[in-house]
Structures are given as structure tokens and as C-alpha cells.
Chain A
Amino acid sequence: MDSDREEIERLIAKVAMGDRAAFEALYDRVSAKLFGVCLRVLDTRAAAEDAMQDSFVKIWNNSDRYQANGLSPMTWLITIARNTAIDRLRATRKGHQDIDTPGLELAAPGPSPEQSAVAASEAKRLTNCLDDLEADRGAAVRGAYLDGDSYADLAQRFNVPLNTMRTWLRRGLMALRECMSV
């Protein structure tokens, strides 16, 4: 697993130098996972294909900023794909605003991946912790992350006022953080 991570980091570093062969190798290595994520978020295959192509264009254009964003390499790559897919999903909805991805718009120098406060083992507990949340709250966090639901969408789905929804979800996030850091 660690050698996998090192290899992907090495490829991103080479891509940052404009190494086209490294970019193709990176594509061959991670595109299936990223395509799976795009397919999960978007309804149609065509939309998922577009989102993935856009994701890799962002990866090519922003790889030189990867080192500064503090994310592990797969998190960075998957987050770009997830955010790009959600942006595309939301583009069809009213009042759409793009999601920011660290290493794209984000400029403040973050921690290096090694310094990140969130260890991989901690992140692995997420799924269990989500399941420990009251069912609705877990579903709301999943809905926001995987379906791009806004607070308004969630409020409608759970049939509560907007402000209640926000308070509700924030409590869920606090519980989540606590559960994961135990």
C-alpha cells in the first residue's frame, strides 16, 4: 500500500515537471478508480466520461501544486474527480457554484501529506462512524458528498427547515469527527 502511494506520488511529481509519459502512466494507474467515482456521482455514462476527462485536465494543469495541498495522493486525485463530477451534476441545477479543491484554487500552503493530522487509519474508520450516526445524519453526509446535495436539497429530503437541517448536519459532523479520532 505504501509503495503504491509512493509510486503515485512519484508520478505526480514527474507530471508536475511536464512529463507526458508519467501522465499516461498515472492515467493507466488511477483512471479506473476515478471513472468509478464519476459514474457513482453522475447518472449518465457520457456525463461521467466528460467529468473524468475534465478531472485529468485539472490534474495535468495543477500537479505542480499537489505538494502544497497536504493531501495524500489518492485523496487529491479522487477529490478532484468527485468535485468535478459534482460540479457537473450541479451545473444543471439552479444557483450552481463550483466546489473548491485543495491544490486547485486553494493557495495557502498546507501541511505536507506526512504532516496531515488525519492518518489514513483514521479515515478508514469513517464508514463505521457514519453508520454509528443517527441514520438520517449519516445519510445526509453521504448525500452531500456523493450526490452533491445542498442544504436546501437535504432540508427538502428530510422535510425540515433549512436552519434546522444545517444545525442537524453540523452536529452529525461533530459526532463524526469525535468518533473518527477515538
Chain B
Amino acid sequence: MSDTPITPPEDDDLLAAEMALGLLEGEDRAAARARLMQDRDFARSVADWQERFVAMTDDIAPVAPPAKLRRALMARLFPARQVPLLQRLWLWQGVSVAALATVAFLALPMLREPPMQPPAEVYATRMAAEDSALELLAVMDMSRGDIALRRVSGDAPAGRVLELWAILPDRAPISLGVLPEGEVNRVALPADLAPEAAQITLAITDEPPGGAPGGVPTGEVMAAGAVAEL
């Protein structure tokens, strides 16, 4: 440090100006860069010159950039929608690893979407309830407009059937139909529910054979879960 040549402040400030203009090259530039990182006064000098020089842009008229530029920029910075679905599943904190594996299995058909097509929104939930052995995993895929369901455990009480409902704020439960037998099912999601998909809570009640009379749930809620976006 002691053999660093002492430069008068005057020269420092001109060096800062050259730095701001981008005129320094080679070793001079490397040395000035290093000072910029450590020397507060020098950094201030450079900033002061930037502040002065920027006035040269005052009379440059604004030009509205094309809209495609904005779209390209946002797509470049925020590619979240293009994250593969499996990755989104692993990031989802809602359920256990084992449950995630099942959801991933349910979502497999969705993974075969053409890669260039931006993946649609996907929501998932684990449906369960206290005092009930019934547990299901559900994945709502907005691009297909359906809900994939996998029954993890439990069954309908003897002589009853399981009916799936979409619950939305300030609305009567909307029946999505009686669940067929079998471990994995797909149920259509009415298109008019799509705009409110993020707010849906899925629920299952036990109903008489044929389903709830009049489309109004009559049985116990055996499992429920609010969807979360993947």
C-alpha cells in the first residue's frame, strides 16, 4: 500500500470522469474498477459525473417501444409458467413426498403437452377430513379442463356413493358428479368454473346411490381440500 503513488484529488476526479465516459482501457481501467469497489470518494466522483453527463440525454425524445418488446422481456424474466410440471410438483409444499409422487403420476398425461405450448395453470390438493379414512389427491389441469383424482385410502360407506363438489365463496356447492369405482378417475371441470379455479375447494360427500337428490349435498363431508397452484 505504501508504494501506491499519491495522486492529487484533481486527477482522481478526472479519472472518475473518464471512467463514467467509458474512456479508460487496459490497466488504467482495471485499476479504476478496483478503486470503484473500495474507494467511497472515488465512487462518489464517478456517480457525480454520471449525474452531470446524463443531461446530454435530456433532449433525446422518448420513443414508444413496440409491444412485442415488452412481451419478450417479461417472458425472458418471468419464465415461471415454463417450468416443467414435475418441477412445480416438487416445489409444492402441500403434501408429503409419497403423496407428491402420486400427484406426479396423475399429472403424467399433462407432461406430454407439446413443449412449445406454454403450460396452462395447474392446481392440486389433498382431500381429507377428520373422522374419515377417505383420502384423495386431485390435480386440476386447466388446459384439459378436467380433474384427475387418485384415491389413496378409504371408501364409500356401504350402500352409499361418493360425490364430488366444487365449493366457491358465496355460492351453493356445485356437483361435479358421482365418483366412479376405481383408484384413478378423471372428472370434467365445467368451463364456467375455470376463471375461479384458484378459489375452488374440492369436497366429497357420501350420497344415496345415483347421487345427491336435486343436486344438493345431503351426506357427510368425507374429504375436502382447497386447491393450490403448482
Contacts and interface: CB of A to CB of B under 8 A. Distances in A.
Interface of A: 20, 23-24, 27, 31-33, 35-37, 39-40, 49, 52-53, 56-57, 60, 69-72, 74-75, 78-79, 82-83, 86, 95, 97, 99-100, 102, 105-111, 116-118, 120, 122-127, 130, 141-142, 144-146, 148, 150-151, 169-170, 173-174, 176-177, 180
B64 interface: yes
B36 A57 contact: no
A108 B38 CA distance: 5
Given A35-B65, A60-B77, A123-B52, 7 more contacts: A36-B61, A36-B62, A53-B72, A53-B73, A78-B57, A82-B54, A177-B13
Interface in B57-80: 57-66, 69-70, 72-74, 76-78
Interface residues of B, number: 48
B51 A142 contact: no
Nearest to B74: A24
Given A35-B65, A108-B39, A122-B52, A69 B47 contact: yes
Nearest to A61: B77
A100 B78 CA distance: 26
Nearest to B50: A79
Contact of B77 (A57, A82, A176): A57
15 contacts: A31-B64, A33-B57, A35-B64, A37-B57, A37-B60, A49-B66, A57-B76, A71-B47, A71-B51, A83-B22, A102-B50, A108-B37, A123-B52, A127-B56, A130-B56
Contact of A118 (B10, B36, B52, B62): B52
Contacts of B18: 170, 173
Given A56-B73, A174-B14, A123 B57 contact: no
B161 interface: no
B33 interface: yes
A116 B51 contact: yes
B56 A52 contact: no
A91 to B, nearest CB: 13
B52 A106 contact: no
A109 B42 CA distance: 11
Contacts of B40: 108-110
B53 A33 contact: no
Interface string B110-147: 00000000000000000000000000000000000000
B181 interface: no
Contact of B65 (A31, A71, A177): A31
B81 interface: no
Contacts of A97: 25, 29
A4 B47 CA distance: 21
